[in-house]
Amino acid sequence: MLAEIFHKFGSDKESFHHYASIYEWLLFDLKHKPIRLLEIGVQSGGSLRAWEEYLVNAEIVGVDIDPACASLRLDRARVVIGDASKPETFSGLGDFDVIIDDGGHQPADQLATLATMWERTRSLYVIEDISWKLANPQFQLVDTTFHRLRRESAMWRSSIIAPCWTIFAKELIAFKKLPQRGNHEQG
């Protein structure tokens, strides 16, 4: 159970957000495959350790703005230090099957990273905590990622989000790319 793995490694993905069952569903077809996973937001390494255990064949990369994350001891995951809102942070990292944005949770940053990394996502792109400020009364009617995606949906639909499913679940949004039709499917 992914929930127990998140608990075991101290990630708040289950204890606070209850994302485990959503991730089990989203990752169902990828769980045993040799995928490349990128997570933005490393902190103490809890979720990277959870992905190491749950996705046994995955190559895992974490990005965090905090230089202290570079000294974490992890098994298979590697950590890159940089600001996820800046495209240069991801230069040389290649494409990923799964990208999870659990970084600073600022809408402008989340959308900047999405704009940079969507083309480099093969299957699944998740943005966590898209409207967390709504729960805080001092941030009423703020510009959350959820509101921005809705407001700018025409632009996102036509240029970025088109070939995918969009799933809103709890406080996250997931974009799951549809399989591309290959040459062998033509005719």
Interface contacts to ligand SAM, rule CB under 6 A: 11-13, 39-43, 46-47, 63-66, 83-85, 102-104, 109
Closest to ligand SAM by CB, 67 vs 163, is: 67
State the minimum distance, in angstroms, from the CB of residue 34 to ligand SAM.
22
State the minimum distance, in angstroms, from the CB of residue 5 to ligand SAM.
11
State the minimum distance, in angstroms, from the CB of residue 162 to ligand SAM.
27
State the minimum distance, in angstroms, from the CB of residue 14 to ligand SAM.
9
Closest to ligand SAM by CB, 69 vs 161, is: 69
* Cα distance between the two ends of the chain: 42
Residue type, 60: I
Closest to ligand SAM by CB, 109 vs 171, is: 109
Residue number closest to ligand SAM, CB atom = 104
Closest to ligand SAM by CB, 40 vs 58, is: 40
Strand order of the β-sheet with 59-64 is: 78-81, 59-64, 36-40, 96-101, 121-127, 172-177, 164-169
